[in-house]
Structures are given as structure tokens and as C-alpha cells.
């Protein structure tokens, strides 16, 4: 759900809801039925799907409040703890982003564009990725001296890494200007026979424009040097 932290946040807290165990939805199950499932799966790794019980700003999700009250937990006290943690993490994220010099955007996905990495491919590639209806992923886009890196905001794990020599073009649609994309080959774009378009969404049209200007500058500078 929008506004929730996923299990990749790497922390399970009081108020979180276990939705699935071993790939089976257990929401609403009684304790005895859950115990029976655990006995059946004894000795196997326990896989869980967790739904966070509060929003990114620390506010407890209203639907969880009755459950917490039934457990005689102080909802106001829990909410204050969540807010303090959220504030500390947001400050840490801002500091890391500043140190890395990156831009916070959403990664929407990628699509193969075949043997041509021309900028004309971007318009239909953005449409194709948008139609996939994937869940956007919050990322940090870092445009360095020799290339572009994309890191997950949650744990700073790198998910994309392309040198400017691999990037053949970048751009955006006129009717979706907060979206932007770049196309990269599987090797240097001058000899690559297969290209993929990577699509992102910026927080604003201005941010999208600024990122594209930085990408274009790195692209042209590197290709001119080559």
C-alpha cells in the first residue's frame, strides 16, 4: 500500500501484521490454526509477508489501532516512538543523499528496445513501462564522472550501473515530463546489438529536466572524448 515501508526496511516492529506464512495467507486465522501450520512446516525456513503497521511519518495505520488496544498497548506511546525513528531515518537519508550527490526519484522499470538505442525509442518505451503497472521503487540516482548508478533508498544497494559509453540516448515524453529515461546497450553503445530503456519518475518536471541535462552532459563529454 502507498505510504508503507516494506519488509525490505529490515525491521519488524510491534503493530506490524503478519499477512502470509510459507506463502499462505493467514490473515484472520485463529492461534490454533497458525500453530498447526507451524507444526506441519517444522524444520523448514519460515518465510513471512509483513504489512507495516504505520506510515512513513510514524502515524499508526487506523486499521491496526483496535488490534493494539486489544493487546493493551499504549498507541500514543508507540506512535511517538515510530515518529522519532522516522525523523532520525529521514535525516540520515538526507545526509547520505547529500554526501553522494544523488537525486531521489522513483524507478519504474525497464524494457528492451531491440537493436536501436536511438532517442526516438524513448517515447514508446516510457509507455510500455507505464503499462506494466509495476510498483515504483524509491531510488537514489547518482550521475558521476564516468557513469550513472541507481541505488535503492532503503539499503543503498546498487541495482543499476551504466557507464556513459554504454548510454546511447536519454530523454522524456512531451506529455509526461516528470518521467525520464535513458537507453543503454549491453556493452559500449557504438558496438552493442541490444539496447534497454530504463524509466524513472522525478518529483517534478524541473527535477526531470535537470537530471536529463546532467545525463546529456556526461554522455556528450564522454563520447566526445572517445
Instruction: Quote the pLDDT of residue 93.
Output: 53
Confidence of residue 172 (pLDDT cuts 50, 70, 90): very high
Neighbour count for residue 215 (Cβ, 10 Å): 21
**Mean of per-residue pLDDT scores for the chain:** 83
Confidence of residue 95 (pLDDT cuts 50, 70, 90): very low
Cα-Cα-Cα-Cα torsion 210, 164, 144, 87, nearest 10 degrees, comes to 60
Q: Distance (Å, rounded) from C-alpha 117 to C-alpha 122?
A: 9
Q: Distance (Å, rounded) from C-alpha 101 to C-alpha 184?
A: 22
Structure letter (DSSP) for residue 188: -
Higher pLDDT, 115 or 10: 115
Whole-model pTM: value is 0.57
Q: pLDDT of 44-55, one tens digit each?
A: 888 888 887 777
Report the range of poorest mean pLDDT among 13-27, 115-129, 161-175: 13-27
Q: What is the mean pLDDT of residues 85-109?
A: 68
Cell of 36: 498447526
Instruction: Quote the pLDDT of residue 7.
Output: 40
Q: What proportion of the chain, given as a percentage, has pLDDT over 90? A: 38
pLDDT of 125 over the 90 cut: yes
pLDDT of 2 over the 70 cut: no
**Are residues 87 and 95 in contact, defined by beta-carbon separation less than 8 angstroms?**
no
Q: What is the mean pLDDT of residues 183-210?
A: 93
Q: Which residue ranges make up each domain of the chain?
A: 7-98, 101-225
pLDDT of 101 over the 70 cut: no
Instruction: Quote the pLDDT of residue 62.
Output: 82
The CATH code that applies to domain 101-225 is: 2.30.29.30
Cell of 15: 503493530
12-16, 88-92, 143-147, 176-180 — most confident range: 176-180
Instruction: Quote the pLDDT of residue 104.
Output: 93
Amino acid at each position: 500500500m502507498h505510504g508503507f515501508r516494506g519488509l525490505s526496511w529490515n525491521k519488524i516492529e510491534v503493530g506490524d501484521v503478519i499477512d502470509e506464512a510459507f506463502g499462505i495467507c493467514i490473515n484472520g486465522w485463529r492461534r490454533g490454526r497458525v500453530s498447526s501450520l507451524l507444526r506441519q512446516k517444522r524444520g523448514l525456513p519460515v518465510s513471512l509477508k509483513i504489512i507495516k503497521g504505520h506510515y512513513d511519518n510514524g502515524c499508526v495505520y487506523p486499521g491496526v489501532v483496535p488490534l493494539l488496544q486489544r493487546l493493551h498497548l499504549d498507541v500514543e506511546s508507540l506512535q511517538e516512538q515510530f515518529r522519532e525513528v522516522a525523523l532520525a531515518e529521514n535525516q540520515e537519508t538526507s545526509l547520505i543523499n547529500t554526501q553522494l550527490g544523488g537525486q531521489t526519484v522513483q524507478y519504474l522499470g525497464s524494457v528492451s528496445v531491440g537493436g536501436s538505442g536511438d532517442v526516438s525509442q524513448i517515447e514508446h518505451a516510457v509507455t510500455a513501462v507505464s503499462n506494466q503497472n509495476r510498483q515504483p521503487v524509491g531510488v537514489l540516482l547518482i550521475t558521476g564522472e564516468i557513469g550513472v548508478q541507481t541505488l535503492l533508498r532503503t539499503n543503498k544497494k546498487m541495482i543499476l550501473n551504466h557507464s556513459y559509453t554504454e548510454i546511447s540516448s536519454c530523454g522524456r515524453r512531451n506529455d509526461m515530463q516528470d518521467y525520464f529515461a535513458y537507453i543503454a546497450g549491453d556493452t559500449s553503445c557504438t558496438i552493442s546489438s541490444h539496447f534497454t530503456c530504463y524509466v524513472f519518475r522525478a518529483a517534478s518536471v524541473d527535477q526531470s529536466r535537470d537530471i536529463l541535462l546532467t545525463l546529456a552532459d556526461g554522455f556528450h563529454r564522454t563520447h566526445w572524448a572517445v
